[in-house]
Amino acid sequence: MTETARPEASTVPLEALPPLRDTLAAAGIAADKRFGQHFLLDLNICRKIARLAGVSVDDDVLEIGPGPGGLTRALLETGARVTVVEKDPRFIPLLDDLAAAVDGRLTVIEGDALKVDEAGLFAAGGAGRPVRIVANLPYNVGTPLLVKWLTGSFHPSSLTLMFQKEVALRIVAPAGDKEYGRLAVLCQALCQARIVMDLPARAFTPPPKVASAVVTLTPLEAPPSAPLLAAVQTVAQSAFGQRRKMLRSALKGLGGETLCRAAGIDPDARAETVPVSGFLALAQTWLDRRNGQAAPTLPTGV
Ligand code: SAM
């Protein structure tokens, strides 16, 4: 991760910056599939995302994968302070130009968002200030990044994220829905999750193969404790690992029918019909029953 001294950027006010398409053409940058690059070059769409995220002048924002900086411009227009993390070095000079236009309100970090220590990034600017995450995420790392933010020690005040539509549906799916699974349970155990905008593939340059959607995740006021959340993940992993089996069999290793009955959950039910509150009950009961034993390990690869 680098935030080193770089060649002097050109100073043009934000409102006088050239259209994004011209900026990309002048820099000779074409989208690189390896980085999941599908750009939003329509500033009106970018402004709508910033509005949906509720970003205002008082906010600190973390944006992952700014690319040519369309969404970044929209976020900066609100007056917020923005920190961006971009892996593709070709965009750094463009982003430095943007930083020069906004008088220190934009911090540009060249690095891999999967490895970045978000709490460390914001500690210097005032530890404890709420930070909103807003991003048009690279599709190849969208889910691992979301899991990192939900389960790590950095606690954003809101997340407004563009995903492939199929992933967005897996995040917001209610119990009983065919998309309902471990990702829905994790997200909804911690946040209120909603799809707030659908975007067709043609809104992006180059267009991806599938449609996209923006999801907002608003952390619950009383989220489960870290041990309970880890237990929820363990239970959900077992339950959805064998999603066609009844819970009495799928959860055999965790207590099977006895666990289900103690938690008030029908042992003949299948994972896809158990609401998030049911997973919390199963997890709490499992923790209570194994009182005194080692804490559960966090499963990976939701
Ligand atoms: N925000 C821009 C927009 O909306 O036009 C670009 C979005 S594009 C879907 C994803 C961006 O994430 C690209 O700029 C890509 O280079 C960057 N990226 C990909 N993997 C990354 C990673 N691991 N860490 C940081 N940035 C990454």
Per-residue pLDDT reduced to its tens digit, 151-185: 999 999 999 999 999 999 999 999 999 999 999 99
Q: What 3-state class would DSSP assign to 214? A: strand
Summary mean pLDDT of the chain: 92
How far away, in angstroms, is 64 Cα from ligand 1 center? 6
- Residue with the smallest CA separation from ligand 1 atom 12 is 65
What percentage of residues in the chain have a pLDDT greater than 90? 84
Separation CA 45–CA 214 (nearest Å): 11
Residue after which a domain boundary falls, among 162, 186, 219? 219
Residue 128's pLDDT is what?
A: 61
Residues 6+ apart with CB under 8 A from 128: none
Prediction pTM value: 0.92
| pLDDT over 70 (residue 208) | yes
Q: How far apart are alpha carbons 281 and 288 in whole angstroms?
A: 10
Report how far ligand 1's centroid is from the alpha carbon of 37 (Å). 6
β-strand partners of 258:
none
Residue 296, pLDDT > 50, answer no
Strands, E assignment, 105-155: 106-110, 131-136
Same domain, 159 and 190: yes
Give me the pLDDT at residue 86, please: 98
241 and 191 part of one domain: no
Q: Rounded to the nearest 10 degrees, what angle do helices 182-190 and 276-289 cross at?
A: 90
Measure 138 CA to ligand 1 centroid, in angstroms: 5
Whole-number Å distance between alpha carbons of 132 and 142: 16
Q: 240: which 2 tokens? A: 């959805």
Domain containing 79 equals 2-219
Return the structure tokens found at 280. 């919390």
Query: At residue 188, does pLDDT exceed 70?
Result: yes
Cis? peptide before 206, omega within 30° of 0: yes
Say whether both 163 and 248 belong to one domain.
Answer: no
Q: Is the distance from CB of 204 to CB of 39 less than 8 angstroms? A: yes
Please check whether residues 11 and 154 belong to one and the same domain.
yes
83 forms bridges with which residues in the sheet? 62, 107
- Say yes or no: 207 and 59 in one domain: yes
**Ligand 1 atom 21 nearest Cα:** 87
What pLDDT is attached to residue 291? 75
Domain CATH number, residue 151:
3.40.50.150
Among the listed residues 132, 187, 138, the one whose alpha carbon sits nearest the alpha carbon of residue 163: 138
Which of 204, 219, 234 is where one domain is finished? 219
Q: Which of 23, 24, 37, 139 to mutate to test the pocket of ligand 1 (most atoms within 8 A of CB)?
A: 37
Distance of alpha carbon 134 from the chain centroid? 8
Atom 20 in ligand 1: residue holding the nearest Cα: 35
Mean pLDDT of 112-116: 97
Same-domain status, 11 and 137:
yes
Q: How far apart are the first and last CA of the chain?
A: 26
Residue 129: pLDDT over 80: no
Q: Considering 195, 219, 243, which residue would you say is the last residue of a domain?
A: 219
Residue percentage of the chain with pLDDT more than 70: 91
Claim to verify: residue 214 and residue 235 sit in the same structural domain? no
What's the gap in Å between 181 CA and the centre of ligand 1? 26
Which residue's CA is the nearest one to ligand 1's atom 19? 35
